[in-house]
C-alpha cells in the first residue's frame, strides 16, 4: 500500500476512534519508550513500593514489541471520564482538616461516607476501554484484512503516558499526569498496537504548567519529592488500592475521607477547571459509588463484596483492602456512632481489617478526649 493510502487510513482510523467515543486519538512511532531510563531510576529509588509487577515487567516496558513483536504503529486513545455532576469547587477537597475539624465525609442523613476517585465511580474502565479498542481493531481488519494488532489498557507493560505525549496528546504535569489543553487530565489512556505503518502525529513538546505548583502544594501526604517525581509509597491512591498490608500509621490521618483512590492533585489543577463532561454512559457515576457508605462496607462479607464490586474498579483493592480503608476513614471522621460496627470488625477474619478497626476506635477515643479538654 502506498504512502497516500496509509495517510488516508490514519485519518479514517481517527474518525472511527472518535465515533467510538474516544475524545483523543493520536499515532506514535513504535520505538523504545522515551521515559524508560527515568523508570529505571524511579524503581531503583524504591518509589514503586510493593508493586512488584513493576519490577517483573520492567524490561518489557522498554519497547512495545514486547506486546506485539511486529508492531510498527501505536495508536493512542483517550477516553474522558469527567462526570457532569462533579463539584466545581476543588479547593474544598484540596486540604485535609486537622483532627477535631473533619466534617466533609458526614453526608446524607446519618450515613458516614467515604470518597471514591472519579475514574472508579462507574463501570470498570478496563472493560469499557477494551470493548472500544476491540471494535477499533475490528475496523482496521476490515480495512486491511492482513493487519495484526492488539488493544491494551494499563494492565499491559506499556508506558502509556510516553506514547500519549509522543502521539501529540499533551504534556506531563508536575503531578506526573498527562495533561491535555482541552480535557485537562480527566481521561483514561488506551493503546492499539498495529503491525501497519501509519502517518504519525507530531510529539507534544511544550509544557504549559509554568510556575504553578498547586498539585504539589495540595498533596496531604507530600508524595511528590520533586516536580514530576512521585513517591508512590506516600500517594493516597497507592495506599488505598495497591498497598496490600497496613497503611503506615503516620499517613493515616492524611487520607482524610478518601476510601478508594484520590483526586486532590487533579482537583486543584487549573487545566481541569473547564474540562468538559464525558459522554460515556458506562462511566457515569453510580449513586452508591459516588459516596461509599462506610458502615455498610465495614459489614460486608466476601459474597457481599463480590456482588457489589465485581465489575467496578474497586475490585482491585479486594475486600480486606476496602474494609481496611473504611475503618481508617471512620477513624479520621471521628464520629462515635461508628464505634459499634468497628468493635464488630475487630473480630473480622482478616488481620488487616482487625488492626485498622482497632486503630480507628482509638483514634475516635483520642478525638473525644481532645474535644472534652477543649470544652473545659
Looking at the 3D structure of the chain, how many domains does it have? 2
Q: Are residues 188 and 286 in the same domain?
A: no
Q: Are residues 180 and 312 in the same domain?
A: no
Domain holding 253, by residue range, is: 91-122+211-371
Catalytic residue among 2, 34, 142, 154: 154
pLDDT lower than 50: segments of the chain: 1-3, 86-110, 372-376
Alpha carbons 329 and 357: distance in angstroms, whole number: 10
Q: Are residues 172 and 273 in the same domain?
A: no
Domain end, chosen from 194, 224, 251, is at 194
For residue 248, what is the domain's CATH number?
1.25.10.10
Q: Are residues 273 and 336 in the same domain?
A: yes
The pTM score is: 0.90
What pLDDT does residue 110 have? 44
Classify 59 as helix, strand or coil: helix
pLDDT in tens, 79-92: 999 986 544 333 33
What pLDDT does residue 370 have? 58
Q: Taking a C-beta distance cutoff of 8 angstroms, is the pair 120, 312 a contact? A: yes
Domain end, chosen from 134, 165, 194, is at 194
Q: Can you name the residues that pair with 150 across neighbouring β-strands?
A: 193
Q: Are residues 175 and 252 in the same domain?
A: no
Residue 108: inside a domain, yes or no? yes
Residue 139: inside a domain, yes or no? yes
Q: Are residues 147 and 221 in the same domain?
A: no
Q: Are residues 118 and 132 in the same domain?
A: no
Q: Are residues 323 and 349 in the same domain?
A: yes
127 flagged as catalytic: no
Amino acid at each position: 500500500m502506498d504512502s497516500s493510502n496509509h495517510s488516508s487510513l490514519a485519518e479514517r482510523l481517527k474518525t472511527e476512534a472518535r465515533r467510538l467515543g474516544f475524545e483523543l486519538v493520536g499515532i506514535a512511532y513504535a520505538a523504545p519508550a522515551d521515559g524508560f531510563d527515568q523508570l529505571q531510576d524511579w524503581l531503583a529509588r524504591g518509589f514503586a513500593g510493593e508493586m512488584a509487577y513493576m519490577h517483573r515487567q520492567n524490561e518489557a516496558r522498554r519497547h512495545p514489541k514486547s506486546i506485539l513483536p511486529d508492531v510498527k504503529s501505536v495508536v493512542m486513545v483517550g477516553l474522558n471520564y469527567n462526570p457532569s455532576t462533579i463539584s466545581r469547587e476543588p479547593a474544598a477537597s484540596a486540604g485535609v482538616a486537622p483532627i477535631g475539624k473533619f466534617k466533609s465525609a458526614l453526608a446524607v442523613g446519618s450515613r458516614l461516607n467515604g470518597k471514591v476517585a472519579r475514574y472508579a465511580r462507574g463501570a470498570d474502565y478496563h472493560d469499557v476501554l477494551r470493548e472500544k479498542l476491540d471494535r477499533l481493531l475490528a475496523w482496521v481488519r476490515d480495512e486491511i484484512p492482513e493487519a495484526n494488532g492488539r488493544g491494551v489498557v494499563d494492565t499491559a507493560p506499556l508506558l502509556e503516558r510516553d506514547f500519549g505525549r509522543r502521539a501529540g496528546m499533551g504534556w506531563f504535569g508536575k503531578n506526573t499526569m498527562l495533561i491535555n489543553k482541552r480535557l485537562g487530565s480527566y481521561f483514561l489512556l488506551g493503546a492499539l498496537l498495529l503491525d501497519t505503518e501509519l502517518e504519525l502525529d507530531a510529539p507534544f513538546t511544550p509544557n504549559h504548567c509554568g510556575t504553578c505548583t498547586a498539585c504539589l502544594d495540595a498533596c496531604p501526604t507530600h508524595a511528590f519529592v520533586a516536580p514530576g517525581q512521585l513517591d508512590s509509597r506516600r500517594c493516597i491512591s497507592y495506599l488505598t488500592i495497591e498497598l496490600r498490608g497496613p497503611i503506615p500509621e503516620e499517613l493515616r490521618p492524611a487520607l482524610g475521607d478518601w476510601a478508594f483512590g484520590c483526586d486532590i492533585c487533579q482537583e486543584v489543577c487549573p487545566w481541569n477547571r473547564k474540562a468538559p463532561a464525558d459522554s460515556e454512559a458506562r462511566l457515569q457515576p453510580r449513586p452508591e459509588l459516588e459516596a461509599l457508605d462506610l458502615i455498610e462496607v465495614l459489614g460486608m462479607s466476601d459474597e457481599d463484596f463480590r456482588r457489589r464490586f465485581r465489575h467496578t474498579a474497586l475490585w482491585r483493592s479486594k475486600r480486606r483492602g476496602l474494609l481496611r480503608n473504611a475503618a481508617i476513614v471512620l477513624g479520621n471522621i471521628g464520629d462515635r456512632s461508628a464505634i459499634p460496627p468497628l468493635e464488630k470488625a475487630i473480630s473480622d477474619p482478616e488481620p488487616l481489617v482487625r488492626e485498622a478497626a482497632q486503630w480507628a476506635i482509638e483514634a475516635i477515643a483520642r478525638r473525644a478526649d481532645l474535644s472534652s479538654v477543649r470544652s473545659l
